[in-house]
Amino acid sequence: MTYTLLHNPRCSKSRAALELLQTRGVDVEVVRYLDTPLDADALRTILRRLDIAPRALLRTGEAVYRELGLNNEALDDGAIVDAMVRHPELIERPILVRGERAVIGRPTERLLHLLD
């Protein structure tokens, strides 16, 4: 079964995740999601695999989070997903996907939950 890493090479945690996987000899497909943004269906699939609500995947420290008023609890899941599709920098990273499961690599050691 293949592994996919949603990766931002400018992020130290994401780089650490890729290094951990490479050190362990894991064959991983790297998706630079800022260069190749996810569409809404792909993002919903990842959320389902993570078993979390869209709001839990938001990077709340990003300027665009405040600019878009995403702290508004009245926003529904669809609005949150749409914001992440339009602004992929809002998506927490790194995310490792394997089959029907996924994990956010914060801390990096959480990735080990998906390894054989």
Average pLDDT in the chain: 96
- Active-site annotation holder among 3, 4, 5, 11: 11
Residue range 81-108: average pLDDT? 97
What range defines the domain where residue 57 resides? 3-114
- For residue 101, the domain's CATH number is 3.40.30.10
What's residue 53's pLDDT?
97
Q: What is the pTM of this model?
A: 0.94
The DSSP line for the chain is --EEEEE-TT-HHHHHHHHHHHHTT--EEEEETTTS---HHHHHHHHHHHT--GGGGB-TTSHHHHHTTTT-TT--HHHHHHHHHH-GGGB-S-EEEETTEEEE-SSGGGGGGG--
Structural domain count of the chain: 1
Note if 11 is an active site residue.
yes
What's residue 37's pLDDT?
94
